[in-house]
Amino acid sequence: DAGITQSPRHKVTETGTPVTLRCHQTENHRYMYWYRQDPGHGLRLIHYSYGVKDTDKGEVSDGYSVSRSKTEDFLLTLESATSSQTSVYFCAISESEVYYEQYFGPGTRLTVT
Amino acid sequence: GEDVEQSLFLSVREGDSSVINCTYTDSSSTYLYWYKQEPGAGLQLLTYIFSNMDMKQDQRLTVLLNKKDKHLSLRIADTQTGDSAIYFCAERASKIIFGSGTRLSIRP
């Protein structure tokens, strides 16, 4: 398995609080991604990174920000969590081309009450 | 806009073949992927096919691509209980779009 960890694995938070999810990789892959998975929607891309300090928006980026200060870490921040952001969040990585052969982390289940 | 459609459920008897179907809309897709998700886990890349190919076989897995109809299928031969999972189809063009997943259940 690709070396991808996500923390925390589970989190319950209240509406309006900030939340940061962390993705850590040991593969030295260039590309990193954050997805959310919701019933009936499959996976939807939130943001992705194509290098340190280089990020771009996906299809559902509103309400989320990201940062990548090191190759191995990609952070997803919900500045003010809302109930609509209750979801399972997956980090993924890929090596050579954007979106090519992505390897996924185990996921973080976030509940916003 | 771009879309990827899959049926939600498939039930197959153990030992039979499973065929999971997917349709997509973006004719500029370069790669098409099949991912497997087991309970509580992330997605695992099973196989992929380049858009200029019609078929790809990898052990028990056969991928068929009909580019004219924008139809992709995954056949799993001799389906086993360990194949129970959700299978996601995805297309890659300028971005990657995932289907909603097909839940495969195995009957004894």
CA distance A66 to A57: 9
pLDDT, position B1: 61
For residue B99, list chain A residues with Cβ-Cβ distance below 8 A.
42
Closest approach of B2 to chain A, Cα-based (Å): 12
B51 contacts in chain A (CB < 8 Å): none
Q: What is the predicted pLDDT for the residue at A1?
A: 56
Kindly report the nearest CA distance between residue B68 and chain A, in angstroms.
23
In chain B the first and final C-alpha atoms are separated, in Å, by 41
More confident residue, A69 or B41: A69
Structural tokens at position A12: 């319950």
Residue A48, CA atoms < 13 Å, CB-side half-sphere? 21
B41 CB burial (10 A radius; 0-12, 13-18, 19+): middle
What's the pLDDT at A38? 92
As a whole number of angstroms, the distance between CA A110 and CA A9 comes to 8
pLDDT of residue A96: 74
C-alpha–C-alpha distance, residues B77 and B57, integer Å = 11
Q: What is the pLDDT of residue B93?
A: 82
pLDDT tens column, A6-58: 999 999 999 999 999 999 999 999 999 999 999 878 899 999 999 999 999 99
Partner residue facing A107 (CB), from B42, B45, B88: B42
Contact call for residues B88 and B20 (beta carbons, < 8 A): no
The verdict on a CB contact (< 8 Å) between B98 and A104 is: no
B41 vs A contacts (CB less than 8 Å): 106-107
What tens digit of pLDDT does each residue of A82-112 get? Answer: 999 999 999 999 987 766 788 999 999 999 9
Residues of chain B with pLDDT under 50: none
pLDDT at site B96: 86
Report CB contact under 8 Å: B42, A104: yes
Cα distances (angstroms) measured from residue A60 to each of A46, A64, B17: 5, 8, 36
pLDDT value, residue A2: 66
